[in-house]
Amino acid sequence: MTTNAPVPRAQAAKSEISLTWLSSALRRFLDWERHEARKLLPPALRSWLLGRGARAAVVTARAGEIVVADAPGAPGFRISGAEIASGSLDAALARRKLSRKGLAIALELPAGSFLPRRFDLPVAALSRLDALVDAEIERKTPFRRDEIFVQTAVQPHAERGKTTVALTLLRRDLVAAALEGSGLLFDDLASIRAAPTPGVAAHEIKLAGTGNDQRFFRAAGALAALAALLLIVGFAVDFWRQGEQAAELDARIADLSGQAAKIRQSADRAGKESRLLERLREARRRNAPMTALWEEISRVTPDSAYLSDLRLSEGKDGERSAELTGLARSAVELPMLYGRSRYFSEATLTAPITIDPREKLESFSLRLKIRKEPAS
């Protein structure tokens, strides 16, 4: 028979330190590999893979022209919006011996056009990041998802197990207004960024489907060998941790099972006590106790009368009654007084009323039927 003991804290801490060291070592190896690979590749191939051969072009809001930056051996130039509108962007670039793939167009807008937002998430929720971002936008902003551009960035959090999601939002109508007169469309843009402003954080939204994204994936394909190596290391680490995690999980399951059994016993005991208390309350509600009856009789009996005898009895059918004997100034009024009580259904005299010669009061004998449930 095999038993699973809890993993000691020292061993768990040692495993955590080992994983941290391994992660740091892999990160350093990846940085070194990328740096060395750039040295080995020819400049043309390196530019093609990393997307650095594309010439940068900037469109300023409402400027109506594209400003292409200088490149090694090629001066910069401007393309007016009228030239693009009269033909096409491809034709304007072809006249300058350029293609759309060789041009990365960025639109510059005032920094105030961008709306930054931040919220915290558990690391385990990152698999549903897109849905959570949509929910955050719908809940915390006045915009619909199709009315804005969104740039999402995941940043580290000071608290372990959490991460910070930084959003940069930009209204589409502001972009459309900025492109008016330039002859450009949304699809022509590689990114939208904030114009440099002293003391204001820089914002940039990269648009999907640009040539830079394609070159990024080609660069990822060129590093497939490294990815395979990392995958093998990842499987090794996973198998190494599997035994420890299984032992720790079994120990936690056993501990939680014991706690659940205790909670279940406590819940059963509490349920039984609750049902017993409910039955006692129901019995008390249906059958008024002697103290309540005595208090009610004392309340109803007038000051001009007093009791000499009180007896409670219960018949075979469960009906209870009270028999009162005493003296009163006016005994004939007593049945009516007791009949109004919420505890008694009726009150009747069981003997003739006589005058007590010594007390000069009327003697009475009265029978009261006790209600099974006091009237509300």
For residues 170 and 102, which has the higher predicted lDDT (pLDDT)? Answer: 170
Q: Which long-range contacts does 76-85 make (Cβ < 8 Å, 24+ apart)? A: 81/181, 81/182, 81/183, 81/184, 82/183, 83/183, 84/182, 84/183, 84/184, 85/181, 85/183
For residues 51 and 128, which has the higher predicted lDDT (pLDDT)? Answer: 128
For residues 14 and 267, which has the higher predicted lDDT (pLDDT)? Answer: 267
> Is residue 35 a part of any domain in this protein?
no
210, 242, 275 — which closes off a domain? Answer: 210
Please say if the pLDDT value at position 183 is more than 80.
no
What is the per-residue pLDDT for 213?
Answer: 46
> Is residue 356 a part of any domain in this protein?
yes
- The region of weakest confidence among 56-70, 86-100, 331-345, 348-362 is 56-70
Same domain, 202 and 333: no
The tens digit of pLDDT for each residue in 211-251 reads 444 454 555 566 777 778 888 888 778 877 887 888 888 88
151, 179, 210 — which closes off a domain? Answer: 210
> Is residue 81 a part of any domain in this protein?
yes
> Is residue 188 a part of any domain in this protein?
yes
What is the per-residue pLDDT for 4?
Answer: 47
Same domain, 194 and 65: yes
What is the per-residue pLDDT for 327?
Answer: 92
CATH classification of the domain holding 350: 3.30.1360
Please say if the pLDDT value at position 352 is more than 80.
yes
Same domain, 192 and 311: no
> How far apart are the C-alpha atoms of 191 and 110, rounded to whole Å?
14
For residues 55 and 122, which has the higher predicted lDDT (pLDDT)? Answer: 122
175, 210, 245 — which closes off a domain? Answer: 210
In the chain, the number of structural domains is 2
Same domain, 78 and 182: yes
How confident is residue 19, by pLDDT bands cut at 50, 70 and 90?
low
Is 289 strand, coil or helix?
A: coil
* Helix 224-286 × helix 9-40 angle, to 10°: 150
> Is residue 46 a part of any domain in this protein?
yes
How confident is residue 42, by pLDDT bands cut at 50, 70 and 90?
low
Please say if the pLDDT value at position 21 is more than 80.
no
For residues 58-64, give the mean pLDDT. 67
Same domain, 181 and 326: no
What is the per-residue pLDDT for 3?
Answer: 45
What does the mean pLDDT of the chain come to? 77
How confident is residue 210, by pLDDT bands cut at 50, 70 and 90?
very low
Please say if the pLDDT value at position 13 is more than 50.
no
Same domain, 184 and 325: no
> How far apart are the C-alpha atoms of 373 and 57, rounded to whole Å?
91
Share of the chain above pLDDT 90, in %: 2
In the numeric block, the tokens 């009237």 are attached to 375
> Is residue 14 a part of any domain in this protein?
no
Query: Is the pTM higher than 0.75?
Result: no
> Is residue 101 a part of any domain in this protein?
yes
DSSP code for 71: B
> How far apart are the C-alpha atoms of 55 and 68, rounded to whole Å?
7
The Cβ of residue 240 has, within 10 Å, a number of other Cβ atoms equal to: 13
For residues 65-86, give the mean pLDDT. 72
Which among 6-20, 100-114, 213-227, 343-357 has the top mean pLDDT?
343-357
What is the per-residue pLDDT for 212?
Answer: 45
> How far apart are the C-alpha atoms of 342 and 368, rounded to whole Å?
12
What is the per-residue pLDDT for 1?
Answer: 43
Query: Where are the extended beta strands (E) located within the chain?
Result: 55-60, 65-68, 77-80, 103-109, 115-122, 148-156, 162-171, 191-194, 204-206, 305-314, 320-328, 344-349, 354-355, 362-370
For residue 193, what are the domain limits? 41-118+167-210
- The region of weakest confidence among 114-118, 286-290, 356-360 is 286-290
> Is residue 104 a part of any domain in this protein?
yes
